[in-house]
Chain A
Amino acid sequence: AQKVTQAQTEISVVEKEDVTLDCVYETRDTTYYLFWYKQPPSGELVFLIRRNSFDEQNEISGRYSWNFQKSTSSFNFTITASQVVDSAVYFCALSDPSGTYKYIFGTGTRLKVLA
């Protein structure tokens, strides 16, 4: 069965600190996609990144970076020099590769960045 675990329920950091959000997944499929979404207080989930299971290269986008390691089934998300605007709930998701692209979401990590 597929599963996504985000063990960190809530994290609080002071602005400018770096923070890493953990995501561990379970799947028997060899081909799959992993995602991160951001849900700000407004409620609308915003797509951040998609990672193909065959591509283990780390990715950096501005202050955001992602570390994908198949050996540990992890897809962690780091925010460097956090800002108050980063405060949100972040969801990690695993895509069903059957063609429907249904997602299995983790329970989310609430990040609070304090000024």
Chain B
Amino acid sequence: GAGVSQSPSNKVTEKGKDVELRCDPISGHTALYWYRQSLGQGLEFLIYFQGNSAPDKSGLPSDRFSAERTGGSVSTLTIQRTQQEDSAVYLCASRSGTDDYGYTFGSGTRLTVV
């Protein structure tokens, strides 16, 4: 696609439920990132995928968070047993693998846990 697409744009879920957030990167971009933006805070790195390499999961805040990237394209971020502190905007970004000329971000998924 022309840009990075994220769905849903908004998600309200009850505490304890699982949620899945989807990211469709720019076609041909081998690098994909998930960041979390909490109210009043900067963007926090969660996970990074590069091609077929093992993902860098160093930013995932707990084992309730996981992500996968199928076929080197679409990625899904899963949060199990959601907590209120998980409420945030989850941003996905992709980058051409050849150099770092900046990411292209999606519009994000606003997650609210009630």
Contacts and interface: CB of A to CB of B under 8 A. Distances in A.
Interface of A: 4, 33, 35, 37, 42-47, 50, 91, 93, 95, 100-108
Interface of B: 31, 33, 35, 40-45, 48, 50, 56, 59, 89, 91, 93, 95, 100-108, 110
Contact of A50 (B91, B93, B102): B102
Main secondary structure of the interface of B (DSSP, over half): strand
Given A45-B93, A91-B43, 16 more contacts: A35-B102, A37-B102, A43-B108, A44-B105, A44-B106, A44-B107, A47-B102, A47-B104, A50-B100, A50-B102, A93-B43, A101-B100, A102-B59, A103-B45, A104-B45, A107-B41
Contacts of A45: 91, 93, 103, 105
B72 to A, nearest CB: 16
B40 to A, nearest CB: 7
A71 to B, nearest CB: 24
Shortest beta-carbon contacts, A-B, top 3: A47-B102, A105-B42, A45-B105
B108 A44 contact: yes
A60 to B, nearest CB: 18
B45 A102 contact: yes
B102 A108 contact: no
A35 B50 CA distance: 21
A93 B103 CA distance: 11
Nearest to A52: B100
Most central of A104, A105, A106 by chain B CB within 10 Å? A105
10 contacts: A4-B42, A37-B105, A44-B106, A44-B108, A45-B105, A47-B102, A50-B100, A101-B95, A102-B59, A103-B35
Contacts of B43: 91, 93, 103, 105
B107 A43 contact: yes
Given A95-B100, A100-B56, A101-B100, A108 B105 contact: no
